[in-house]
Amino acid sequence: MVRKILPSLLFALLCQNINAQSEEMKNTGNAPFAIDLYMQSVKLQPGKSFCLSPFSISQSLAMAYTGARNQTQQEMERVLNFAVNYQLNNSQLYSLNQQLIKNTDSVDFISANTLWGQKKYTFLPDFLEQIETHYQAPIEKVDFKKKSERNMAAKTINNWVADQTKNQIHDLVSAEALTQNTRLILVNALYFYGLWVDAFNPEHTLNDTFKNDEKETTLPFMRRLQMTDYYSDDLIQAVALPYKGEKQKLIILLPTDADGLERLENTLDNNYLNSILSDTRKIRVALSIPRFEIESTLELSELLKQMGLHQAFSNQADFSGITGNKELRIDKVFHGAKIKVNETGTKAAAGTATVMVRKSAQIMEISFHANHPFIYYVIDSESRTILFMGRFMGS
């Protein structure tokens, strides 16, 4: 039995500075941030398949946003599509997490957070209270100052992540990524396990050709005839394949033309995505979808800077809501994700690490044959929260 695992881990390493000196949600779900993240990832990985967890990245950075002030706060609000102040943002994300827990009553869903802070380092009580209240993230004290202790801290964090993700994510945090200036690590681990409402019969899986430009690859294609949500226009065909409980779905956007992925990516935005979700209709579809497995490892700091998140990484960063001073800045954001789609369901896992250092430096049959590059995403239908997003290029 295949499980869909959506473990997503995001941790932020915050380090001391050596040279220290009511609104509604803006839109439905996290699609604007997810699409922007996707488009920047395309630029970083031209011609490649990849997988991301926008939800995990957003959750971890939201904990950092709780301590951001002034221009740093405004920049994070704009780029990450957060609410205008951290109290409202935390309240909205808490409500979203509670909604996701309710919506996943037919699947296994875990979203866990924790803080790992430097021993004898002072964090503002209000910051810790906000994080514990809205993210249920207690603070655990570790020692980053000595190399031997950093090794132990990395091992402890990795064990916690492996626990929360049911052994799907291992060794995300290396001791080499920590320094004597590390002061805080914020971790989100996300786990999702679901099965298709209508499983594919493995006996019907046949090899077929997947076409990507001039390259052709032989892949196993899963096949079945089913009534499912379907959308089409001049640019794409799209199907939404539900998991048990029918509150989460895998959505595949298949360009009409075999070479149409770039055109689709240039068209894709929040309005287009919402129109696809709103305009699907139930129809009988002859599905032919490749089994696929993708694993991605990215360092997202340059990508986030390209999205407009600059000050948070600079010596001008203001995270004084964490410590009461401006000692901290983000250094790196590490993200790893993987997804496996087969006849019984989807297995996916993700890990993200945000490193902060001291400043110094109708009844008819439609054919849906996904035999060329496509975009996919795993979504919670009610909240329209994108949990995973990526593209498949054939390998």
> Residue 261's domain is classified under what CATH number?
2.30.39.10
Nearest to 166 by CA among 100, 112, 116, 115: 112
The pLDDT assigned to 333 comes to 80
The pLDDT assigned to 353 comes to 60
The pLDDT assigned to 355 comes to 62
Torsion angle (degrees, nearest 10) of CA 38, 40, 41, 44:
170
Contacts of 316 (CB under 8 A, 6+ apart): 71, 72
Nearest to 93 by CA among 126, 53, 35, 133: 133
The pLDDT assigned to 72 comes to 96
Nearest to 25 by CA among 58, 72, 3: 58
Q: Is residue 2 part of a domain?
A: no
Distance CA 13, CA 388 (A): 24
The pLDDT assigned to 137 comes to 92
Take residue 368 and report the two structure tokens written for it: 């849906």
Q: Is residue 3 part of a domain?
A: no
Give residue 318's identity as a one-letter amino acid code: D
Q: 266 and 383: one domain?
A: yes
Contact 303, 324 (CB under 8 A): no
Which residue is it, tokens 């950075």?
61
- Give strand pairing partners of 290: 221
Q: 88 and 176: one domain?
A: yes
In order, the DSSP letters of 122-188 are ---HHHHHHHHHHH---EEEE--SSHHHHHHHHHHHHHHHHHHTTTS----S-GGG--TTEEEEEEE
The pLDDT assigned to 6 comes to 34
Distance CA 214, CA 10 (A): 38
> pLDDT tens per residue, the chain (395 residues)?
333 333 333 334 444 443 333 334 444 478 999 999 999 999 988 999 999 889 988 898 999 999 999 999 999 999 999 998 899 999 998 898 888 888 777 777 888 899 999 999 999 999 999 999 999 999 999 999 899 999 999 899 889 988 888 888 787 788 888 888 889 888 888 787 789 999 999 999 999 999 998 689 999 999 999 999 999 999 999 999 999 999 999 999 999 999 999 999 999 999 999 999 999 999 999 999 999 998 887 888 999 999 999 999 999 999 999 999 999 988 878 787 878 899 998 877 776 666 666 666 445 578 999 999 999 998 988 888 998 899 999 88
Nearest to 236 by CA among 212, 254, 213, 252: 254
Q: 308 and 264: one domain?
A: no
- Domain containing 158 equals 8-194+293-358
Distance CA 390, CA 49 (A): 7
Distance CA 131, CA 59 (A): 11
Take residue 150 and report the two structure tokens written for it: 């950093």
Q: Is residue 29 part of a domain?
A: yes
CATH number at residue 145: 3.30.497.10
Contact 154, 178 (CB under 8 A): yes
The pLDDT assigned to 25 comes to 42
Per-residue pLDDT reduced to its tens digit, 157-169: 889 988 888 888 7
The angle formed by the CA atoms of residues 250, 45 and 4, to the nearest 5 degrees, is 25
Q: 14 and 130: one domain?
A: yes
The pLDDT assigned to 273 comes to 92
Distance CA 270, CA 33 (A): 9
Give 89: exposed, middle or buried? Use CB within 10 Å, 0-12, 13-18, 19+.
Answer: buried
Distance CA 298, CA 45 (A): 10
Q: Is residue 1 part of a domain?
A: no
Q: 128 and 276: one domain?
A: no
Take residue 72 and report the two structure tokens written for it: 């740093």
Distance CA 114, CA 175 (A): 18
Give 337: exposed, middle or buried? Use CB within 10 Å, 0-12, 13-18, 19+.
Answer: buried
Provide the number of structural domains found in the chain: 2
Q: Is residue 319 part of a domain?
A: yes
Q: What share of the chain is helix, strand, coil (3-state, %, to 5)?
A: 30, 35, 30
Contacts of 268 (CB under 8 A, 6+ apart): 35, 38, 39, 253, 375
Q: Is residue 49 part of a domain?
A: yes
Distance CA 362, CA 36 (A): 34
Q: 211 and 185: one domain?
A: no
Q: 190 and 200: one domain?
A: no
Q: Is residue 12 part of a domain?
A: yes
Q: 333 and 207: one domain?
A: no
Take residue 205 and report the two structure tokens written for it: 């899986």
The pLDDT assigned to 118 comes to 92
Q: 159 and 84: one domain?
A: yes
Q: 219 and 155: one domain?
A: no
Q: 152 and 271: one domain?
A: no
The torsion region of residue 308 among left (phi > 0), alpha (psi -120 to 50) and beta comes to left
The pLDDT assigned to 39 comes to 95
Q: 312 and 350: one domain?
A: yes
Q: Is 119 helix (H, G, I), strand (E, B) or coil?
A: coil
Contact 326, 17 (CB under 8 A): yes
Eight-state DSSP code of residue 308: T
